[in-house]
Structures are given as structure tokens and as C-alpha cells.
Amino acid sequence: MNPEQRIDKLLVFDVWGDYAHFRRFYTTTSPLTFTVPPRTALCGLIGAMIGLEKENNEYLKYFTTDKAYIGLKLLTPVKKVIIAENLIHTKNAKGIGMNLITERTQINFEFLKDPRYRVYFYHADKEIYQQLRENLEAHKSVYTPCLGLSENIANFVFVGEVEAKTNSSIDEYVQIDSVLPSEKIVCEKGINFNLDGEFFSMKVPIELNLERVVTKYSDLLFERNGKRIEVKLAEPYWTIDYGTGTQENIVFIE
């Protein structure tokens, strides 16, 4: 987080689908999915919604961690299924119709089933921020939104533009609603494991350069059923007020 960046409002929207697949880069013959969407996947989703240029990965320059601030909350428990897919061999199929390709390989894919997420977004560029706000309000997307793979089409709904207040909790536990990078947690007794829950941590890519090379990773901590995590934080968190008596505490993925 850029210390000079002042955030007082965020865009909040929910996104969901029947299936999601965020491929782990180190898998080969049996593609596995990250358990939660990496920040890089959320950048692609938002970029598609507002129509940022995809050629030569130009959209990525708008989503560096010093410009785009993104948070994520699980709204449904994590469920995974294995689905066998038939992949066609296109290497030697140049010049013929796709329907004439006879060589196929059946591969088992791991998918997330019935995922639903809440996304929190702020951008230092007011034009990008405003464009996303307008598209969310109109339920409009320039490109088809999807959850990882193009066939995993997603739907979304605008929750609202909400007020956000900065807080800190170095000495006391605070309940966080979003997934959070583990490096933001105070090391000694920073997590309260006395609460009921299934806690997981996963290393995911955070930022890509224009050559799609990962320049930053982070270990994300989350509760599998979307419950709050009680932690002591070494860095600030944000309290979101929906104006209905409902509040959420979140941390940005960075």
C-alpha cells in the first residue's frame, strides 16, 4: 500500500459462477486450481469488465499494486470437483476444420464448484474507478466475465460504493472478513486458532509484468467456509460501513 494513497471509498461487487478454475502454474498433465482466485485473476476479471486492452497484455500495467487495490471475501464454502475434459490436438491440424480433428486426449481438470466471492476495489486512476462503477451499476461488461477459464462464465451484482475507514490492531485481535496476506500478520501469536474454522494458507501470484512473468507472490490466509479470521495485524486494515448497521473488516491483497 502506497502510504500517500488515501482511500475513503471502495467499490464492492459480488461475482459467482457454476465453476471456476484458476490454474496452478506448476501443474502439467492434471491441471489443479488455486483454492481462491489469485489477485492476477481478479485483475483480468476487472479488466474484462471495463474493456482494457488485452493485446500484448497492456491491461496489466493498470493493475500494479501501487495503483489498484483489491480485496476478496469468500461468500460460499470452498468445494472442488474433478471433471474429465477431452482436449483436441491442434498442433498438426493447420488448414483443416476443427470438426475434422480426430486426435483427442482426456485430461482430468480440478474445478471449484459454485464459487461466489465479494470483491473490493479502489484505483488511483479516477477514470478507471469511475468506468467500473458505471459498468457495475448498469450490469454491463465489455468482455465476457469469467472465473479463470473462458468457459467458466461469471455473473455479478453491484453491492455499492461504500465508505472505508483505516484502522490498526497491532496489540489486539481483530476479526477480518477478507482473505489476507500472511505477511501482514504480527508474527508472535498473531492468529487466534481457538475459533472454530478450517484455516488454510496458499501461495498465489500477486502481480505480473507485461511478459506475464510473476513479479510478486504472497501466502494468502483464509477460512474454507468464509468465516472471519481473528488476527493481530502489523499493517492497517479497512472497516467498511454499508450504512445498514453492517460492517466488514478487510485487508487488500498486495
Burial class for 139, CB neighbours closer than 10 Å (0-12, 13-18, 19+): exposed
Average pLDDT over residues 156-173: 91
Give percent of the chain above pLDDT 70.
Answer: 92
Give per-residue pLDDT as tens, 83-127. Answer: 988 777 766 666 566 666 777 788 889 999 999 999 999 999 999
pLDDT confidence bin for 4, thresholds 50/70/90: very low
Assess whether pLDDT exceeds 80 at residue 153.
Answer: yes
Average pLDDT over residues 12-29: 88
pLDDT at 97: 67
| Lowest pLDDT segment from 50-64, 87-101, 120-134, 182-196 | 87-101
Q: How far apart are CA 87 and CA 107, in angstroms?
A: 7
Radius of gyration, alpha carbons of the chain? 19
Give per-residue pLDDT as tens, 203-241. Answer: 999 998 888 888 899 999 999 999 999 999 988 999 998
Report how far Cα 249 is from the mean position of its chain's Cα atoms. Answer: 17
pLDDT confidence bin for 33, thresholds 50/70/90: very high
Average pLDDT over residues 35-45: 95
> 3-state secondary structure string, the chain?
CCCCCCCCEEEEEEEECCEECCECCCCCCCCCECCCCCHHHHHHHHHHHHCCCCHHHHHHHHCCCCCEEEEEEECCCCCEEEEEEEEECCCCCCCCCHHHCCCEEEEEEEEEECCEEEEEEEECCHHHHHHHHHHHHCCCCCCCCECCCCCCECEEEEEEEEEEEEECCCCCCEEECCCEEHHHECCCCCECCCCCCCEEEEEEEEEECCCCCEEEEEEEEEECCCCCEEECECCCEEEEECCCCCEEEECCCC
CATH C-level class of 9-250: alpha beta
pLDDT at 5: 61
